[in-house]
């Protein structure tokens, strides 16, 4: 079954076509969401939302872009919405703590480990993912699509509805920012060896 | 100096730590969870209306509109209004003894 046929069947409401779509794209959706929200439970929730959205909106899909590009766009939008909601909740909790008795302890998120990282790189990748999480939205999306999904700059430009030059600039700025963030990270970690008093 | 070199080396290694990363796999039975969610969550018109009204932009616009209407009402009520017409309580003598021209019907009806 080619993609056009799959889209046609989906637009007619075929459940078997929907099952096939989920089977085919679930890892792509989950991995992208995981890269952005950096939490397995949230990424699973987003993946469900994405496919429900795809099922609801497939009739409005005109075929201007590839199906995968369209699904990527929905995933990114849902993931970024989730991040915004999370930040709003954090701000609200902070305001509440100002008026509360001050006993509430802020839950610190556990360090995120991407399951696909090779064992010898785990520690460094954890630091890098922490830094990625602090990047501005667009830089984060471009970097995640490039590094975790292995997308080319041209494909990223299509997904983000921007030019190739913009994507290259976004990734370059992301790298610069990551270098700055990692410098701070390692400055705190590395302790200068004590000098011999003799 | 040595520390900075060490940091630079670590940064380069860290930036390359995601090279060759495998794609994370979704948890099993995603389709089952999607189906359950689709049946569980049937949005009513009220849910959608609530969601729409609850959006910060809509909420703020509504609030501003209410405040604006209030301000307009206050400003217009503050303007010196026209003095209320004093009711004429006593009938003037002119009115009392006025001669009104009878219509053609009155004239006709005077005849028994």
Residue A152 has pLDDT above 60, yes or no: yes
Question: CA A183 → CA A122, A143, A189, B84, distances in Å?
Answer: 18, 19, 10, 79
Q: Name which of A44, A27, A72 is nearest B33 in CA terms.
A: A44
Contact B11 A124 (CB under 8 A): no
ipTM value, please give it: 0.82
Average the pLDDT over each of A45-54, A117-126, A181-190 and give the range with the smallest value: A181-190
> Measured on CA atoms in the order A59, A60, A62, A64, is the torsion positive or negative?
negative
Confidence bin at A2 (pLDDT 50/70/90): confident
Question: What are the mean pLDDT values of chain B's consecutive 10-residue runs (112 residues total)?
Answer: 85 92 95 91 72 84 94 84 58 62 63 56
Q: Which two tokens stand for residue B109?
A: 């009806």
Question: CA B30 → CA A43, A138, B35, distances in Å?
Answer: 12, 28, 9
| Buried residues in A89-126 as b, exposed as e (16+ CB within 10 A) | eeeeeeeeeeeeeeeeeeeeeeebebebbeeebeebbb
User: A90 vs B8, which has greater pLDDT?
Assistant: B8
Is B30 within a domain?
Answer: no
Res B100: pLDDT: 63
pLDDT, tens only, A156-189: 999 999 999 999 999 999 999 999 999 998 887 7
With beta carbons less than 8 A apart as the criterion, state whether A146 and B39 touch: no
With beta carbons less than 8 A apart as the criterion, state whether A33 and A141 touch: no
Residue A141 has pLDDT above 90, yes or no: yes
Residue A55 has pLDDT above 50, yes or no: yes
Q: How many residues does chain A have?
A: 198
pTM of the model: 0.73
Res B93: pLDDT: 61
Confidence bin at A106 (pLDDT 50/70/90): low
Confidence bin at A140 (pLDDT 50/70/90): very high
Is B29 within a domain?
Answer: no
Res B89: pLDDT: 57
Instruction: Report the Cα–Cα distance between both ends of chain A, in Å, rounded.
Output: 78
A18-40 mean pLDDT: 96
- The CA distance from A90 to B60, in Å, is 21
Is B63 within a domain?
Answer: yes
Average the pLDDT over each of A13-27, A45-59, A97-111, A147-161 and give the range with the smallest value: A97-111
Res A198: pLDDT: 47
Per the structure, how many domains does chain B have? Answer: 1
- The CA distance from B21 to B26, in Å, is 15
Contact A116 B21 (CB under 8 A): yes
Contact B34 A31 (CB under 8 A): no
* Side-chain-facing half-sphere of A130: CA atoms under 13 Å: 19
- The CA distance from B111 to B108, in Å, is 6
Is B62 within a domain?
Answer: yes
With beta carbons less than 8 A apart as the criterion, state whether A44 and A51 touch: no
pLDDT, tens only, A188-198: 777 555 455 54
A98 CB-near residues (< 8 Å, 6+ apart): none
What does the mean pLDDT of chain A come to? 89
With beta carbons less than 8 A apart as the criterion, state whether A167 and A175 touch: no
What is the CA angle A133-A135-A141, rounded to 5? Answer: 80
With beta carbons less than 8 A apart as the criterion, state whether A28 and A66 touch: no
Is B37 within a domain?
Answer: no
When CB atoms are compared, the residue of B11, B24, B34 closest to A186 is B11
Contact B18 A125 (CB under 8 A): yes
Is B111 within a domain?
Answer: no
Res B63: pLDDT: 92
- B64–chain A nearest CA distance, Å: 22
B21 chain-A contacts, CB cut-off 8 A: 114, 116-118, 125, 147-148
Residue A32 has pLDDT above 90, yes or no: yes
Q: Which two tokens stand for residue B32?
A: 């089952």
For B38, the closest chain A residue by CA position comes to A52
Contact A44 B21 (CB under 8 A): no
Is B66 within a domain?
Answer: yes
What is the CA angle A59-A65-A70, rounded to 5? Answer: 65
**Range of the structural domain that residue B56 is part of:** 45-78
Is B100 within a domain?
Answer: no
Q: Which two tokens stand for residue A124?
A: 């460094």
Contact B21 A178 (CB under 8 A): no
B30 chain-A contacts, CB cut-off 8 A: 22, 26, 30, 44, 47-48, 51
Confidence bin at A105 (pLDDT 50/70/90): low
Q: Name which of A48, A63, A44 is nearest A2 in CA terms.
A: A63
B40 chain-A contacts, CB cut-off 8 A: none
């Amino acid at each position: 079954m080619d993609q056009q046929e799959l889209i046609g069947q989906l637009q007619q409401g075929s459940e078997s076509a929907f099952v096939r779509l989920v089977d085919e794209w679930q890892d792509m959706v989950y991995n992208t969401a995981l890269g952005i929200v950096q939490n397995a439970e949230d990424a699973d929730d987003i993946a469900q939302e994405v496919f429900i959205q795809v099922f609801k909106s497939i009739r409005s899909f005109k075929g201007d872009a590839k199906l995968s590009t369209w699904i990527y766009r929905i995933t990114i939008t849902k993931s970024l919405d989730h991040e915004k909601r999370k930040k709003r909740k954090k701000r609200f909790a902070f305001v509440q703590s100002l008026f509360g008795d001050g006993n509430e302890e802020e839950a610190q998120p556990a360090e995120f480990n991407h399951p696909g990282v090779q064992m010898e790189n785990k520690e460094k990748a954890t630091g890098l993912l922490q830094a990625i999480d602090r990047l501005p939205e667009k830089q984060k999306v471009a970097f995640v699509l490039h590094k975790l999904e292995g997308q080319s700059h041209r494909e990223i430009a299509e997904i983000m509805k921007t030019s190739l030059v913009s994507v290259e600039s976004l990734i370059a700025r992301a790298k610069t920012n990551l270098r700055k963030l990692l410098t701070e990270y390692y400055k705190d970690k590395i302790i200068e060896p004590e000098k011999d008093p003799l | 100096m040595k520390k900075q070199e060490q940091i630079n080396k670590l940064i380069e290694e860290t930036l390359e730590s995601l090279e060759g990363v495998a794609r994370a796999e979704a948890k099993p039975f995603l389709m089952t969870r999607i189906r359950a969610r689709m049946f569980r969550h049937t949005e009513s018109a009220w849910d959608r209306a609530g969601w729409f009204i609850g959006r910060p932009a809509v909420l703020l616009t509504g609030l501003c509109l209410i405040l604006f209407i209030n301000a307009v009402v206050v400003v217009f009520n503050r303007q010196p209004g026209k003095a209320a017409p004093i009711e004429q309580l006593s009938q003037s003598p002119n009115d009392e003894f006025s001669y009104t021209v009878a219509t053609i019907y009155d004239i006709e009806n005077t005849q028994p």
